[in-house]
Amino acid sequence: MKKHSNFFLSKVKHLLIVEIIRDMGYFFYNMITGFLLFFHKDHFVKNIRTLKWNKLDSYIMSQFLMAMLGATVLFVSIFELAQIFQSLRGLSETANLNYFYLSYLHTVPYWTFILQPFGFLFATVYVLSKLSSTREMIAMVSTGTSIYRLTFYMMLVSIVYYFGIITVLMDKVVLASYQKSYIYNRLINEVNEDLDFKHLQDSKDFTVFGENNLLYIGKHYNATERYLEDITVIQYLAEEDIQEAPAFVAEDEDTAWIQSNRINLESMKNIRVQDKISFQKRIDAERMYWQEDVEAWAISNGTIRIISEGGKLFSQRKVTWEVDKNLKDPYWFFEENWYPIDAMTVAEGVRHIDKLKKSGRAFQDELTKFYAKDAYPLGLVFVVMIGIGIVNMASKKVSIPINSAISMALFVVYYLLYTSFLGLAGRGDVSAWWGGFGGSAIFGVLALIFYSRTTT
């Protein structure tokens, strides 16, 4: 019995794969054929004229845009109000309500971005179902106009809007506002209403690994003036360059500093000072200032100590001001990330991932989320394609509620695919790129199948 069951499941799986490949081939064949025919020199001018905006386009698109805006506003409002009411219960009596509401107000563009694919899907299904149920769509198609032409501007709007999001709106509107929500959220319980947000990037008691085998241990980083305070920098040796140290390192004025915080040093990056000395340079300074012109740090009132030949030679010198071009880890290496990569602009995200890579820290999960910000809005295009394919124009009965329910279910499928691949990449099961784009890619295949099966 089990053998027959496995054979049946294998057969169904095989047939399903064949069907998907057939649909994909049919779609691409028709797309390429249609593209070549459209741009053929004998038909190009005539074909362009068929795309000219007309009264039917005005009628369809006005309903589409109103339905899309209405659905998006409705779901974002419900989500935001639920979040606010839930947070109000745990709010302290001294909390600044003004900042509390501002923090949620500034999340509106972000959650609009997240929920908008459903708005596009619902609008497509609702408008086409409504036109089909009243037989208007049949009347339009009976004039010789294809369903693909009638929905051309739906597709065009979704494609243009996608590129608008990833090129301008994401950084300038969505993420700029989302970052402010984190700022106001941190200020809710602050007594001092200081709106100089730059100080939120200050760091205290930090340890940062940089390039050139450098370790920075500091008390304070001032993000406004870009300086490190009470800072120690250690340059350790690569494993292959570590030499055996002398059996006994005499403690004198040149070597006492090695033993002064030995336990602390040995706990980080396996820096050893007993049987082996695995670092070659140490800098202790009151401050170090970032020099933008040379892209390096300047040492202010410090001591530079050098160890060579595995601890046989020691030297040190005092400096009042000196630019060390070996200290080239940029200032933003030391800034505190007070908002996650989900809220970072493209430039900030690139810097953040670069910092993680150069400092030897895990970056797979962050890189996945970085890719996902470009991949997720692809759903705007795919949901419109699926919406067009859902509605059966040839059916005598078209149910708007049923089609709307199907659209909601498909949006849930898309979001689950999106989050599932993020999780897989976070565990290292797939690459960061697949983690960001995998869910959209699979949903895109589903969209092509629905779109290629559109009935007229």
pLDDT at residue 392 in the model: 63
- What is the structure's pLDDT at 5? 53
**Is 90 exceeded by the pLDDT of residue 299?**
yes
Cβ-contact 151, 141 below 8 angstroms: no
- How much of the chain exceeds pLDDT 90, in percent? 25
Query: Angle between the 400-426 and 432-452 helix axes, to the nearest 10 degrees?
Result: 160
pLDDT at 297: 94
What pLDDT does 367 receive? 92
Cα 162 from Cα 343, distance rounded (Å): 18
Per-residue pLDDT tens for 241-266?
A: 555 444 344 454 555 555 554 445 54
> Which of 116, 106, 165 has its CA nearest to residue 415?
116
Q: Which residue has the tokens 């976070």?
A: 426
pLDDT at 257: 52
111-to-103, 140, 419 alpha-carbon distances in Å = 13, 36, 15
Give the model's pLDDT for residue 113.
92
Determine phi and psi for 103, rounding to 5 degrees. -65, -40
Distances (CA, A) of 193 to 95, 99, 196: 12, 10, 9
Residue pLDDT, tens place only, 59-103: 889 999 999 999 999 999 999 999 998 888 878 877 888 889 999
pLDDT digits (tens, 9 = 90+) for 335-370: 887 788 989 999 889 888 888 887 777 888 899 999
- The answer to whether the CB of 140 falls within 8 A of the CB of 150 is yes
Higher pLDDT, 406 or 300: 300
Mean of pLDDT values over 201-212: 82
From residue 417, how far is each of 112, 367, 439, 452 by CA, in Å? Answer: 19, 18, 5, 22
Alpha helices of 359-426 — where are they, by DSSP H?
364-375, 379-390, 400-426
Which has the minimum average pLDDT: 167-176, 193-202, 327-336? 193-202
- Tell me the average pLDDT across 433-442: 91
* pLDDT greater than 60 at residue 232: yes
What does the pLDDT read at residue 278?
64
On the question of pLDDT at 26 being above 90, the answer is no
Q: What local confidence, expressed as pLDDT, does residue 266 receive?
A: 47
Report the pLDDT averaged over residues 26-42. Answer: 56
What distance in Å separates the CA atoms of residue 408 and residue 405, rounded to the nearest whole number?
5
SS (H, E, C) 60-92: HHHHHHHHHHHHHHHHHHHHHHHHHHHHHCCCC
Predicted confidence band of residue 11 (pLDDT cuts 50, 70, 90): low
C-alpha span between 182 and 65 (Å, rounded) = 31
Task: Tell me the sheet residues that pair with 208.
Answer: 216
39: exposed, middle or buried (C-beta count within 10 Å: 0-12, 13-18, 19+)? Answer: exposed
Backbone dihedral region of 242: left (phi > 0), alpha (psi from -120 to 50 degrees) or beta? beta
By percentage, how much of the chain surpasses pLDDT 70?
74
With 0-12 CB in 10 A as exposed, 13-18 as middle and 19+ as buried, what is 193? exposed
- Written as one letter, the residue type at 236 is Y
| Confidence band for 120, pLDDT divided at 50, 70 and 90 | very high
Q: What is the pLDDT of residues 208-220, one digit of tens each?
A: 888 777 888 889 9
Position 22 pLDDT exceeds 50: yes
CB 272 within 8 A of CB 280: no
Contacts of the segment 428-431: beta carbons below 8 A, 24+ positions apart = 428/364
pLDDT the model gives residue 273: 41
pLDDT surpassing 50 at residue 169? yes
pLDDT of residue 245: 45
Residue 444 is encoded by which pair of tokens?
């895109």
Backbone conformation region of residue 431, classed left if phi is above 0, alpha if psi is from -120 to 50, else beta: beta
Span 104-128, average pLDDT: 91
The rounded distance, in Å, linking the Cα atoms of 149 and 456 is 11
